[in-house]
Amino acid sequence: MEAAAGGGCGSGPPLLLSEGEQQCYSELFARCVGAAGGGPGSGPPEAARTVPGTVTAAAGPVADLFRASQLPAETLHQITELCGAKRVGYFGPTQFYIALKLIAAAQSGLPVRIESIKCELPLPRFMMSKTDAEIRFGNPAELHGTKVQIPYLITEKNTFKRMDDEDKQQETQSPTMSPLASPPSSPPHYQRVPLSHGYSKLRSSTEQMHPAPYEARQPLVQPEGPSSGAPGAKPPRHKASLIRSFSVEREPHDNSSNYPDEPWRITEEQREYYVNQFRSLQPDPSSFISGSVAKNFFTKSKLSIPELSYIWELSDADCDGALTLPEFCAAFHLIVARKNGYPLPEGLPPTLQPEYLQAAFPKPKRECTLFDSYSESMPANQQPRDLNRMELSIKDTADFPVPTQDVTSDDKQEQNKTRLALKSTADEALPKDMSEDPATSKDSNSLKARPRSRSYSSTSIEEAMKRGEDPPTPPPRPQKTHSRASSLDLNKVFQPSVPATKSGLLPPPPALPPRPCPSQSEQVSEAEIHPQLNRAPSQVAESSPTKKDIPHSQPPSKPIRRKFRPENSATESQEPPSTVGGPVSAASGKPHAAVQKQSSKQKKAIQTAIRKNKEANAVLARLNSELQQQLKEVHQERIALENQLEQLRPVTVL
Amino acid sequence: MAVCVAVIAKENYPLYIRSIPTENELKFHYMVHTSLDVVDEKISAMGKALVDQRELYLGLLYPTEDYKVYPSHQSPCVESTFPNQLCRYGYVTNSKVKFVMVVDSSNTALRDNEIRSMFRKLHNSYTDVMCNPFYNPGDRIHSRAFDSMVTSMMIQVC
């Protein structure tokens, strides 16, 4: 073993492994390799066969194993580089052992260097799901092996699968697995740290680095593999990043708690992510995402339409054709699970029920508004269900919220109530939410009315849908994009009414027009409202070079400028003649900054425009396909009718 | 016991059709198909009346062969019971989606109200299916919730 390690190491130093290490490493390696061999014909086995004649561990299980060591991403990266896997492109035995040794070194606090591995080191610890005291090294690898069949590995999925298999494998594994690592005594939260770690990686740009080495080894694994490389280039579209997370990130496995329905439990990190995605679709967390918006969003997950349809069915608890935040989280979670290969459940798991989701994730103080809004929408969701029960138990819980009135205590109460609800069954969560209802009853009535009116409005919807051959195009994207490209209102920019000005604005202002007088600038700078869009057209519409420069230098003040326009126009007409020479120097500095601002804003604008166009494309493509389908049907009908006609025609003389 | 439930689209093609004794499925398909004519007749007859007040429930359709089908929805039902009656009931929505239900009334004579409630359930489930944005109107209905509801109707009424 050692000789082989030393010999195969090449440029690395000879690796000395102790007995225990040898055993452990070889087992781990065997599992990783076995995982590769056990997988389906796709990716990993082929990755393992990249170097014929060499037994290589598939990058997937290896990556998972490494991440289970709970080392930071950079360290893992270093380790992979050092062990030579990156260089040679695969994890051979030598590389694997070196990597394990380096992991042990890193975990012991030693710097990640080749020299570190020369000394005696404890065995590397891999944080896996902790059920009982034992950590099974092999488990993750093996589980990952089984999971290799499923193209997309995300933390939770591994966790879940591990949970499922763990029971089966406990007996088989335990004899072979010497207690090599200390059992993680951390509560589930700690175990979620790697998950969060993974997710933070997911969202950060560093994830680009990680996929790179692993992806190189698995060119064939994911059909989205190539696309996962692309997402880096794509604008950080929410779904694109999600796809990135699906295909690229072989996230740490570890961390799951001991709950039986682990796959369907949403962790904090995931919750955050879902909430962010929700917000990107619908800025108001207390309102709904409409069906068409959600449809477009979820279609990007590339699941089949029947599956998406089923997921929707599961998650839209009140069947209103729209998703509230908890429903959205449930749907998102189901999609994520499905992408990781989990079969869709027969019914909505209890941990994904809207009331549970709202109860289990009491918002921190800063998000108390969110929570209130959840409770608002929640009662409405529960409306079709047991009103009576809720009313009865309101009285029980009414004592709770009654005494205190201020918001903070309300939140605490709600949290207390949520904790109570957590202990009690999901049904009792209903009364808790109903008790919040009186506190937040504004929208509940309207929300309540929705399910009742469903039956009446649905027929009209059916009619509209039947009549309108074309599904209505989704509403134009809300102007939320402006929150990022805050300075450029694309609509205004692209308005045909100001083509000349637009073309004049987009490139950096060529010359230094005479500066407006400082008094005007003062006025403008004083009244700073939030950055508004329309600077270009509104300003340029003035057709005054002075105005043109002002917006560049002071974007936030544009709306003010419009208000000031009547005054400004009066003042400006006087100013240019008088103050041409003075502020020129001042102006020289401004356009510079303005140019930079402008170019970045333009970039953003262009990106948003690209995004919009892509979305429009997708919508039109679907429209097209639907119309094609209808056309086919109509054709068939026509053919059938023609046949009938033929037959009905009186038999004429032959 | 509802032996067959069918949801027919406006263009008279089936969106969902399911029958319990699966060996006779084709026969049920034919039955449903023939009853469509009756449904259309009723719709056109009623169409001249107040459209907005139109009854959705069409009641028992016309009698044929050994399967009794009631003619109209508002007139009292003709109670001529043959052995092993298979009664067909119709229901049409405002968007011309038709529900046809074939019921075996051999063991229990189902009351009109029960049939109405069954249709109401069907209608509600159908609207739930419609609410699903991934459902394109005109597709076959594959919703599991809908399936389970129909199953419950078929077994329960038995």
DSSP B112-137: HHHHHHHHHHHHHHHHHHHH-TTPPT
Residues A611, A234: Cα–Cα separation, whole Å: 9
B65 φψ region: left (φ > 0), alpha (ψ -120 to 50), beta (else): left
* Cβ–Cβ < 8 Å for B98, B90: yes
Q: In chain B, what residues touch A316 (CB-CB under 8 Å)?
A: 131-132
In order of A178, A485, A515, A528, A535, the CA distances from A599 in angstroms are 60, 11, 21, 22, 14
Please say if the pLDDT value at position B119 is more than 80.
yes
What confidence score (pLDDT) does residue A310 get? 84
> A461 and B130 in contact by Cβ < 8 A?
yes
Cβ of B124 within 8 Å of Cβ of A455? The answer is yes
Which residues of A are less than 8 Å from B133 in CB distance? 291-292, 294-295, 312, 321
Residue A158 CA: distances (Å) to CA of A57, A337, B28: 18, 10, 48
pLDDT at B140 over 60: yes
CA A392 vs. chain centroid, Å, equals: 40
Q: How many residues does chain A have?
A: 654
| A79 against A85, higher pLDDT | A79
Q: Which residues does chain A have within 8 Å of residue B124's beta carbon, measured at their own beta carbons?
A: 455
Nearest beta carbon to residue B135 from set A309, A629, A637: A309
Yes or no, beta carbons of A462 and B11 under 8 Å apart: no
Residue B123 or A413, more confident: B123
Looking at the complex, report in whole angstroms how far the Cα of residue A111 sits from the nearest Cα belonging to chain B.
53
Q: In angstroms, how far apart are the furthest CA atoms of chain A? A: 105
Is a pLDDT exceeding 60 seen at residue A584?
no
The pLDDT, as a whole number, for residue A263 is: 66
Q: What percent of chain A stands above pLDDT 70?
A: 33
Lowest pLDDT segment from A608-612, A614-618, B16-20:
B16-20
Give the best-scoring range by mean pLDDT among A246-250, A252-256, B36-40, B84-88: B36-40
Q: How confident is the model at residue A267 (pLDDT cuts 50, 70, 90)?
A: confident
Read off the DSSP letter of residue B78: P
Chain B interface mutation, best of A290, A310, A313, A381, highest count of B Cβ atoms under 10 Å: A313
CB contact under 8 A, A312 and B123: no
- Output the pLDDT for position A590: 58
CB contact under 8 A, B144 and A313: yes
State the nearest Cα–Cα gap between A241 and chain B, in angstroms. Answer: 22
The rounded mean pLDDT for chain A is: 59
Distance, in Å, from the CA atom of A323 to the CA atom of A425, rounded to the nearest integer, reads: 24
Candidates A160, A162, A153, A258; CA nearest to A198 is A153
For B92, the closest chain A residue by CA position comes to A459
The Cα of A156 is separated from the nearest Cα of chain B by a number of Å equal to 26
Cβ neighbours of A473 in B, within 8 Å: none
Per residue, the 3-state secondary structure of A415-464, as one string, reads HHHHHHHHHCCHHHHHHHHHHHHHHCCHHHHHHHHHHHHHHHHHHHHHHH
Alpha-carbon span A120 to A103, nearest angstrom: 13
CA–CA distances in Å: residue A623 to residues A163, A295, A615, B122, B139:
43, 13, 12, 29, 15
| A348 or A199, higher pLDDT | A348
Question: Is the confidence at residue A250, as pLDDT, over 60?
Answer: no
Cβ atoms of A549 and A584 within 8 Å: the answer is: no
User: Which residues in chain A touch residue B95, judged by CB atoms under 8 angstroms apart?
Assistant: 459-460, 462-463, 465-466
d(CA A203, CA A197): 10
And the tokens for A168?
A: 């089966």
Residue A248 or A284, more confident: A284
**CA trace torsion A419, A425, A430, A432 (10° rounding):** -30
CB contact under 8 A, A633 and B144: no
The Cα A327–Cα A324 span in angstroms is 5
Interface with chain B: mutation pick from A319, A335, A454, A467, highest number of B CBs within 10 Å: A319
pLDDT digits (tens, 9 = 90+) for A284-297: 777 888 888 888 88
User: What pLDDT was estimated at residue A295?
Assistant: 83
B143 → closest Cβ in A313, A454, A626 = A313
* Residue among B130, B136, B144 whose CB faces A626 most closely: B136
What the block records as the tokens of A186 is: 């951390």
| pLDDT given for residue B74 in this prediction | 37
Say whether pLDDT at A457 is over 70: no
The DSSP call for residue B5 is: E
Phi, psi of B109 (to 5 degrees): -80, 110
Sheet with B57-60, edge to edge strand ranges: B14-19, B2-8, B98-104, B86-92, B57-60
Residues contacting B68, CB < 8 A, separation 6+: B60, B78, B80, B81, B82, B85, B86, B87, B105
Q: What is the mean pLDDT of residues A586-596?
A: 61
Asked if B116 and B93 count as a contact pair (C-beta separation under 8 A), the reply is no
User: A640 touching B, CB under 8 A?
Assistant: no
A315 has pLDDT over 50: yes
Angle of helix A291-299 relative to helix A325-339, nearest 10 degrees, comes to: 20
Query: Residue B94 is nearest to which of A310, A459, A465, comparing CB atoms?
Result: A459
**Residue-level pLDDT at A24:** 78
Tokens of A550: 């002002």
Instruction: For residue B137, list chain A residues with Cβ-Cβ distance below 8 A.
Output: 462, 465-466
Give whole-number Cα distances, A311 to A164, A296, B144, in Å.
Answer: 22, 14, 10
- Residue numbers in A near B145 (CB within 8 A): 313
**Least Cα separation, residue A353 to chain B (angstroms):** 16
Q: At residue A161, does pLDDT exceed 70? A: no
- pLDDT per residue over A163-177, tens digit each? 444 444 444 444 444
Whether B133 and A458 lie within 8 Å, measured CB to CB: no
pLDDT at A54: 55
pLDDT of residue A613: 95
Interface check A291 vs B, CB under 8 A:
yes
B44-94 pLDDT, tens per residue?
A: 776 554 443 334 555 555 444 444 344 433 334 444 444 456 677 788 887
Helix axes B112-131, B144-156, angle to 10 degrees: 170
Length reported for chain B: 158
Phi-psi region of A265 (alpha: psi -120 to 50; beta: other; left: phi over 0): beta
Tell whether A454 lies on the interface with B, counting CB pairs under 8 A. yes
Mean pLDDT of B6-31: 80
Shortest distance, CA B118 to any CA of chain A (angstroms): 15
Between A26-40, A162-176, A487-501, B101-115, the lowest mean confidence (pLDDT) is in A162-176
Asked whether this complex has an ipTM greater than 0.90, the answer is no
Highest average pLDDT, of A144-148, A432-436, A578-582, comes from: A578-582
Interchain proximity B127–A294, CB inside 8 Å: no
Q: How close A433 gets to chain B, by Cα (Å)?
A: 24
Rounded-to-integer distance, Cα B90 and Cα B72, Å: 10
What is the reported pLDDT for A563? Answer: 47
- Nearest residue to A82 via CA among A65, A101, A59: A101
Alpha-carbon dihedral sign for residues A284, A286, A290, A294: positive
Candidates B124, B132, B141, B147, partner chain A, best to mutate (most A CBs within 10 A): B132
Average pLDDT over residues A480-486: 49
Please list every residue in chain B whose beta carbon sits closer than 8 Å to the beta carbon of residue A461: 130
User: Measured between CA atoms, how close is B71 to chain A, in angstroms?
Assistant: 25
Percent of chain A at pLDDT above 90? 7
Radius of gyration of chain B from its Cα atoms, rounded to whole angstroms: 15
**Among A453, A434, A314, A312, which residue's Cα sits nearest to residue A378?**
A434
pLDDT of residue A380: 43
A646: pLDDT strictly greater than 80: yes
pLDDT at residue A634 in the model: 95
Which token pair is B110?
């189902």
Beta carbons of B123 and A455 less than 8 Å apart: yes
Neighbours of B7 (CB within 10 A): 26
Name the pairing type of β-strands B86-92 and B57-60. Answer: antiparallel
Q: First vs last Cα of chain A: how many Å apart?
A: 92
Q: What is the pLDDT of residue A632?
A: 95
Tell me whether A313 touches chain B (CB under 8 Å): yes
pLDDT of A536:
44
CA distances from A271 to A143, A204, B106 (A): 25, 17, 55
**Residue A81 pLDDT greater than 60, yes or no:** yes
Q: Which of A6-20, A217-231, A319-333, A546-560 has the highest mean pLDDT?
A: A319-333
Q: Which residues of B touch A291 (CB under 8 A)?
A: 131-133
Nearest-angstrom CA–CA distance, A458 and A453: 8
Give the chain A residue whose CA is nearest to the CA of B145. Answer: A313
Per DSSP, the three-state class of B58 is strand
Beta-carbon contacts of residue A226 (< 8 Å; ≥ 6 apart): none
- At A648, list the tokens: 């009905």
